[in-house]
Structures are given as structure tokens and as C-alpha cells.
């Protein structure tokens, strides 16, 4: 799960299954392996909204895309890093 602190700092919103279906379809057709999904995280590494949407797609469609939760953990880690970066300047 995405930590509450990360959700608060990045102002992440929950995404319904219906809201992320189009993104799921895009991922399912363009990104054919877990390695390509991991690579997509590097493309969106500064976009917390896109990463949040990806996390929800991986959550809703876990049986197809992420049965072992490794990709979701990978995305969660990136979101946590973004939250730490965003919080760091305010603590200085």
C-alpha cells in the first residue's frame, strides 16, 4: 500500500476501476512485460499522478499484470521518493 504520509504529501487521490480502465488498456497493449512496465516508471518518475494511476491499474488488474506485487512495490518506492524530495525543501 502507498503510505498515508506519501498520499498526504503528494495529494494523491483514489482512482476507481472505471477511471483507470483506459490507462489499463493502453498499458496492456503498449507494455507487454513487467520489464517494460518497470521502464515506464522511469519515464514518469517525476509525475506522481501518473504513478498513482499506474499503481491503481496494477492493483485492480493484479491477476494479469502484477500477481506477485513486485511492480506495485516498485511504484510505491518511487512515490515515497517523490514525497521525500517534496518534503525535504520544506524542512530546510
HSE at residue 83, side-chain half, CA atoms within 13 A, is: 20
- Look up residue 66 and give its DSSP letter: -
What pLDDT is attached to residue 67? 94
State how far the Cα of 28 lies from the Cα of 58, in Å rounded to an integer.
Answer: 11
Quick check: pTM over 0.95?
no
pLDDT in tens, the chain (92 residues): 999 999 999 999 999 999 999 999 999 899 988 999 999 998 998 999 999 999 999 999 999 999 999 999 999 999 999 999 998 876 65
The rounded radius of gyration (Å) of the Cα atoms in the chain is 13
What pLDDT is attached to residue 91? 66
What pLDDT is attached to residue 88? 82
Task: Please give the angle made by the CA atoms of 36, 17 and 81, to the nearest 5 degrees.
Answer: 50
Amino acid at each position: 500500500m502507498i503510505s498515508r504520509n506519501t498520499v498526504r504529501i503528494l495529494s494523491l487521490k483514489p482512482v476507481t476501476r472505471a477511471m483507470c480502465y483506459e490507462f489499463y488498456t493502453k498499458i496492456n497493449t503498449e507494455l507487454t512485460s513487467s520489464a517494460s512496465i518497470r521502464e515506464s516508471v522511469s519515464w514518469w518518475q517525476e509525475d506522481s499522478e501518473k504513478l498513482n494511476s499506474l499503481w491503481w491499474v496494477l492493483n485492480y488488474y493484479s491477476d494479469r499484470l502484477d500477481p506477485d506485487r513486485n511492480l506495485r512495490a516498485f511504484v510505491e518506492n518511487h512515490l515515497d521518493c517523490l514525497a521525500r524530495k517534496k518534503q525535504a525543501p520544506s524542512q530546510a
